[in-house]
Amino acid sequence: MSDIIIVGCGRVGSRLALMLSEHDNNVCVIDRDPSAFAALGRDFNGSTFVGVGYDEEILVNAGIEECDFVAAVTQSDNANLMVVAVSYTHLRAHETLANL
C-alpha cells in the first residue's frame, strides 16, 4: 500500500505528490474530482482514489493502516481537519497494535 497519502489534488497536493514520488516514495492521492488527477501528468507512478478524503473506507483502501504520513491539502479547512482526525485514529490504532 502507500507510504504517503495525500488528500487533495489541487495545486499544492499535485506538486507535493509529484515531488514525493520523484524521490521514490510510494504515494497515493485522494480527491473527490477525478479530473483533478490530470495535474499529476503521465509520469506520476503513484495511485489515485476518487472520493472524500475523510471517508474511512477510502482511507483504508488507500492504505492508511500501513502508511507513514498523511497530508491533508484540500481547499477546505474543515475537510482537512476531518482527514487529520480520522487518519490519527487509524494510525494511532495501527501503532498500538504493532507495539503489542
Please list the helix, strand and coil fractions of the chain in percent, rounded to the nearest 5, in that order.
50, 15, 35
Mean of pLDDT values over 70-77: 92
Q: What percent of the chain has pLDDT over 70?
A: 89
Question: What was the pLDDT predicted at 88?
Answer: 84
Question: What was the pLDDT predicted at 92?
Answer: 64
pLDDT tens figures, 31-62: 999 999 999 998 899 999 999 999 999 999 99
β-pairing, 27-31 vs 47-50, is parallel
CB 32 within 8 A of CB 51: yes
pLDDT tens figures, 79-88: 998 998 888 8
Return the higher-pLDDT residue of 68 and 15.
Answer: 15
| Alpha carbons 19 and 56: distance in angstroms, whole number | 26
